Structure 1
Amino acid sequence: MAVLLSTKAHTMQDWKAALLAVDPSLEIRLFPDAGDPADIEAAVVWTAHDMMELRRYPNLKLIVSMGAGVDHLFRPPGPPPGVPVARLVDTRLTQGMSEWVLLNVLRFHRQDPEYRDQQARKVWEELSAPDTSERRIGIIGLGELGTDAARKLAALGFPVSGWSRRPKTVEGITCYSGAGLAEMLKQTDILVCLLPLTPETRGILNKDLLWSLPRGAYVLNAARGGHMVAEDMLRALDSGQIAGAALDVFEPEPLPADSPFWTHPKVILTPHAASITIPSSAAPQVVENIHRARAGEPLINLVDFSAGY
C-alpha cells in the first residue's frame, strides 16, 4: 500500500524526505504519478489538489491536510464520503503564526509605517510614545493559533481579548463568545483574525464589523481571504475608519496584479506566508496518523465535518 503526496512542486521532495525520515518503509508516490489507484491508502494533500481525484482510490483510508486550515477540502465535491480527514496541529506552524501576529501588532503599535514615511521624506521628528498597557488587542478565533498568539501578546503587556464561537477560558485573556463579539469589538484597537473559514465566518470582516471598531483601529488577517469583504476593507481604509491593515490572505490567490491592495499605502501585504508548514516538523504526526489508519485506531487532529474544521 502507498501514500500519495500532492503539494507545491518545489516542496514535494522535501515532504517525501521528511516522511521517509520518520518511516523509511513508506512507499510514497508523487502526484500525478499515483500508479495503480487501488494501492493508495493515504493522501497527504494541499490546497490545489482536486477532491474529485481522490474518488479514484478505492482503498483510501485517510486524507491529511498539510496545514491547519481545511476549508479547501470542503470545496465541492468535498472529500470522498466516509474517508476521515486530519489537519496539522504543529508547534512550529503555531510559532510561525504567532511571530507574524507579533511582528505586525508591534509594527502598528510602534508606529513603524509613520516612521518609514518620515524616513522617505527625510523628516526627523519624534512621535508620541505608545503605551502598551493601553493598546487593546482583540483576536477572533481562539483555536490553537489564536490562543498561542493571545498568550504571547499578553506576555508583552498588551491587554488581550479573544472571541470564539463557543465559550472558552484562557488564563490572562478576556474571553468572549457568541453575541459577545459586539462588546469585544468596541474595545479593540488592533483586531486579529485567526478564524477557520466556514459558511458562518465567510465575509465576517465586512462593513458592519469594521465600523464597530473604534475609529483608527488596525486589522490583521492571516486566516483566509474569504473572511474579508475586499470592497468594505478598502472603503474602511480610505475613509480612515481603519488606520492600517496587515493582510496575508486574499480571495482569489494569487492576488491579481490589478488589485488595489498591492499599492495601498495603508496595507502591509504578504503572499499567504504568515506561517508555512515545515515538513520535518509536521511529518511525525502525519506518519502517526498513517499508522493509526492502518491499524484502525483513533486518529489525531481529526476534522469535525459538522463544525467545518
Structure 2
Amino acid sequence: MKVLFAAPEKLWSDWSDAIGNACPEADLQRAGDPASFDVIIYAPGGEIEDLSPYVNARLVQSLWAGVERIVTNPTLTQPLARMVDPGLTESMAEYCTGWAMRAHLGMDRYLQDGNWRNGVIPPLARDRRITVMGMGVLGGAVAQMLKGIGFRVAGYSPSGRGPDGIPVLADLAAALARAEILITLLPDTPGTRDLLNAETLARLPKGAWIINPGRGTLIDDAALIAALDIGHLGHAVLDVFRTEPLPPDHPFWSHPQITVTPHIAAETRPGTAATLVAENLRRAMAGQPILHLVDRQKGY
C-alpha cells in the first residue's frame, strides 16, 4: 500500500521508523502523485491542506486525538479516523490524577516559610467529589484511575453514557454542582465552546478546582479569571489555550490562582500509537470497518 505522510517534517523520523516497524508493507512517502496514494497519515502543520486531489485515498488517519483542525476542512471527503493511543491515554490519566491529588491534599498550603500549618486536615478521597466532563476514551480512563484511588467520581456526557462502574450525568447543572474538582476533557465543537462561562462556573461549589487538559475553547477566559478573583473558585490548572504557545503577556501567567502547563498532559507517542495506525491501514486496504472513525456531524 502507498501511504502519504502529510505531517510536519519534524515528525518524520520518529513516525517513519515506528510505522515501518509496525506495518512493513506500507510504502510511506512524503510526496508523490496524489492519485497514487491509498491512505493519508495527517497532522496539522504539514505542507498539504488541500485533500481534494487524493481521489483514491481510502482513509485519512489523524495523528492527533483532537480533530477540530481537520474535520472542518472542506476538501476532506475521505473517511477520517482520530488517534487513540494507549500511551497518550495513560499519560492523560496520570496528569489528571497528579493535579487532582494536589488539589485534594491542599499541597499549596505548605509554604516552606517556617510556619507550622497543621490546622486543616483534608478529607479522605472517598469523601471528595470529582466530576470528569467528557466520557470518551480519555475521560473514561481518567475517571477509572481516580475511582481506583477512592474518589467519588462521576462523569458528564450529554448522552448519559460512559464506562462501566462510573455514574454519568447528562444534566450539566447537576454535574457541576457536585464537582469539588472539575476535570474537563470534552472535544472542541460548536456546542462545547465557552461551555464554562460566568453562568455555569457559578454552579460549581465555592472553592472548586478546575483542571483543563482538554481544549482551551471550553472555558471563557475572562469569566474564569473573574470567578477566581471573587473567591468563588479555588484554583485552575490549565494545559490548553485558545492561542498556543500562550502569549507571555497573557494574564493567566501572572494570576496567583492559575497554574499554566505548556500542553504536556498527553502526547501521541509513535512507539505505542503506530500499532493503531498499522491496524487502520490494513483495515482500509481490506475494506474492513475503521477503528475510531470520526462522526462528521458531531465533530469527533
Is the TM-score greater than 0.5?
yes
Question: Which residue, 184, 194, 198 being the options, matches 2:189?
Answer: 198
Name the CA shift for 1:24/1:233 in 2 (closer, same or farther; >3 Å): same
Decide whether the 8 Å contact of 1:154 with 1:172 is kept in 2: no
Task: Return the alpha-carbon distance in structure 2 between the equivalents of residues 79 and 13 of structure 1.
Answer: 27
- 1:56 aligned to 50, 53, 56, which one? 53
Deviation, 1:50, is: 6.8
Aligned length: 299
Q: Is 2:8–2:47's contact at 8 Å kept on the other side of the alignment?
A: no
Structure 1 residues 11 and 49: CA distance shift in structure 2, 3 A = closer
State TM-score, norm by structure 2: 0.93
Q: Does 1:98 align with 2:89?
A: no
Question: What's the Cα RMSD here?
Answer: 1.8
| Paired position in structure 1 for 2:116 | 124
Structure 1 residues 6 and 238: alpha-carbon distance in aligned structure 2, compared to 1, 3 A threshold: farther
Q: Is the 8 A contact 1:223 1:249 kept in 2?
A: yes
- Which range moved further: 38-47 or 11-20? 38-47
SS at match of 2:17: helix
* Correspondent of 1:285 among 276, 279, 290: 276
Within-5 A mapping of 1:140-289: 140-168=133-161, 170-177=163-170, 180-289=171-280
CA distance in 2, matches of 1:223, 1:51: 26
* CA distance 1:191–1:221, change in 2 (3 Å): same
Q: How far is 1:113 from its partner? A: 2.1
TM-score for both structures, normalised by structure 1: 0.91
Whether the 8 Å contact between 1:69 and 1:87 is mirrored in structure 2 is yes
- Residue 286 (structure 1) shift: 0.8
Unmatched segments (≥5 aa) in structure 1: none
Say if 2:7 and 2:47, in contact at 8 Å, map to a contact too: no
C-alpha distance after superposition, 1:255-287 (max 9, x if no partner): 112111122221121111101111011111111
The alignment-based identity, stated in percent, is 38
Q: Secondary structure at the match of 1:55?
A: coil
Would the alpha carbon gap of residues 267 and 78 (structure 1) be closer, same or farther in structure 2, given more than 3 Å must change?
A: farther
Query: Relative to 1, partners in 2 of residues 1:48 and 1:123: Cα closer, same or farther, differing over 3 Å?
Result: farther
Aligned partners of 1:162 and 1:173 also within 8 Å: yes
Q: For the structure 1 residues 125 and 16, does the alpha-carbon distance in structure 2 shift closer, same or farther, using more than 3 Å as the test?
A: same
Deviation of residue 79 (structure 1)?
A: 4.8
Equivalences for residues 43-82 of structure 1 within 5 A: 43-49=40-46, 52-75=49-72, 77-81=73-77
Counterpart of 1:146, as a letter, is: G
Following superposition, the deviation at residue 206 of structure 1 comes to 1.1
